[in-house]
Amino acid sequence: MKVDSKIIGLFFVLISFIGGFYFHQYLFEDYYERAYSDENIDFSLLKKTLDHIYISYINQDKIDLEKMTYGAISGMVKALDDPYTEFFDPEGTEDLQETITGSFEGIGLQIAIKDNKLTAISPIKGTPAEKAELKPKDIILAINGESTINLSIDEAVKKIRGEKGTNVILTIERDGHSFDIEITRAIINVPTVEWELIETETGKKIAHLGLYHFSNSTYQDFKKISSEILNSKAEGIILDLRSNPGGLVNQAIDVAGWFLNKEQTVMIEKNKDNIESEIKSSGPSNFSHYPLVILIDEGTASAAEILAGAIKDNKNTLIIGQKSFGKGTVQKVISLSNKLSLKLTIAEWLTPNRNKIDGEGILPNIEIEFDNDNDSQLEKALEEINKII
């Protein structure tokens, strides 16, 4: 059987496009030398494999070049053994964009791969996942009875998400015990910022400011609420980052500018060549003079950890709660086409004092577990901020 040269050509145009994009995007001067040197694998193996499939494979009608191309790219990415680097097919790219914009159908659970296990980072406030009492660091053993072993985050998201009103069963391991939780999917509108004015027993007025996620709209929402706080009688602020799984880092950097002075370091970014760049605050510093306490827990991750670490290191701010999740690497979303995306780990974050976040997390000054009967962490924060006003 003659192999269709146009199909072979298309396959290698895609491979060349990805390689070329990678080269031009990051200006890897030695990219081609490293990728095609004698020490590396022979890329003609891809063509040889495809030749044999078209010449000899018994089910010729099942050959799907597009699906095979996606599989080849996905395989390359998985071989990096980095849980945060992912290839997204058209469906996955659409899901990714929905998450960034803050609205989708599912259960509202942020997940990650930790110690090679599919792990809950945090349920999003007000979602079915929170109502089902899923907790940070819950291990998801199975989705609808299918094991999650070797499942990527993108694959897991596709299985967990679905139309509102439908159910998904998660098999959870917690504290050495496993059990099933059935959850009804819904439309998830991710909240970003909320606040309330709390009066303490001594009559002090405290702004309890909750940041729940960093999406495209977070900073704009934050600015509106910040104006309300500035115009209120608030004498201090409790910045609540509990169960904030992170999101867009630029949004967290912008928020940090309200608590830090201009030109203070928000974070240090270290790339593959160990070259470090300091990201500085650009203000407006409107909250920099307020007495402040920060709340974190095991569901505080990624961009939320950057914000907590930046304020703690620069202002020696008191942090109360539990050690944060420990996700401290930088991912860039690269558009490979109008339907395909690559989320690639390109750097690592450090706090201004050069503390490592990835795998380490942010440590609270006062460690206290959450009490379901009353918010003991918030009560402690109110007690402590009352001392410094």
**CA neighbor of 286 nearest in space, from 316, 313, 254:** 254
The helix/strand/coil state of 289 is: coil
Q: Is the domain of 140 the same as that of 243?
A: no
Per DSSP, the residues of 132-160 read: TT--TT-EEEEETTEE-TT--HHHHHHHH
End position of a domain, from candidates 63, 93, 113? 63
Give the per-residue pLDDT at 190: 74
Q: Is the domain of 244 the same as that of 384?
A: yes
Q: Is the domain of 225 the same as that of 309?
A: yes
* Whether the predicted pLDDT of 9 surpasses 80: no
Give the per-residue pLDDT at 31: 55
* pLDDT, tens only, 244-289: 999 889 999 999 999 999 999 999 999 999 999 999 999 999 999 9
Which of 243, 331, 341, 377 is catalytic? The answer is: 331
Whether residue 310 lies inside any domain: the answer is: yes
Place 27 in a pLDDT band, splitting at 50, 70 and 90.
Answer: very low
Give the per-residue pLDDT at 350: 97
Q: What is the DSSP letter of 290?
A: S
* Whether the predicted pLDDT of 33 surpasses 90: no
Place 321 in a pLDDT band, splitting at 50, 70 and 90.
Answer: very high
Give the per-residue pLDDT at 1: 46
Which of 322, 327, 343, 377 is catalytic? The answer is: 327
Q: How far apart are CA 179 and CA 194, in angstroms?
A: 33
**CA neighbor of 308 nearest in space, from 378, 260, 375, 345:** 260
* Whether the predicted pLDDT of 62 surpasses 50: yes
Q: How many distinct structural domains can be found in the chain?
A: 3
Active site residue 327: yes
Give the per-residue pLDDT at 36: 54
Active site residue 285: no
* Whether the predicted pLDDT of 107 surpasses 70: yes
Whether residue 90 lies inside any domain: the answer is: no
Give the per-residue pLDDT at 39: 60
Q: Is the domain of 59 the same as that of 42?
A: yes
Place 370 in a pLDDT band, splitting at 50, 70 and 90.
Answer: confident
Mean of the pLDDT values across residues 41-58? 89
Give the per-residue pLDDT at 35: 57
Whether residue 284 lies inside any domain: the answer is: yes
Place 21 in a pLDDT band, splitting at 50, 70 and 90.
Answer: very low
* pLDDT, tens only, 235-245: 999 999 999 99
Active site residue 312: no
Which of 74, 215, 302, 377 is catalytic? The answer is: 302
Whether residue 219 lies inside any domain: the answer is: yes
Tokens at 157, concatenated: 């998201």
Residue 2, judged by CB atoms within 10 A of its CB (0-12, 13-18, 19+), counts as exposed
Are 308 and 296 spatial neighbours (Cβ–Cβ below 8 Å)? yes
Q: Which residues in the chain belong to E strands, given as ranges?
A: 86-88, 103-106, 109-114, 117-123, 139-143, 146-147, 167-174, 177-184, 186-189, 193-199, 205-211, 236-240, 265-271, 276-280, 292-296, 318-321, 329-335, 341-350, 366-367
Give the per-residue pLDDT at 99: 73
Q: How far apart are CA 269 and CA 265, in angstroms?
A: 11
Q: How far apart are CA 126 and CA 187, in angstroms?
A: 11
Give 228 or 11, the one with higher predicted confidence.
228
Mean of the pLDDT values across residues 209-233? 95
The residue range of the domain holding 130 is 103-189
Q: How far apart are CA 386 and CA 47, in angstroms?
A: 69
* Whether the predicted pLDDT of 124 surpasses 60: yes
Q: Is the domain of 314 the same as that of 376?
A: yes
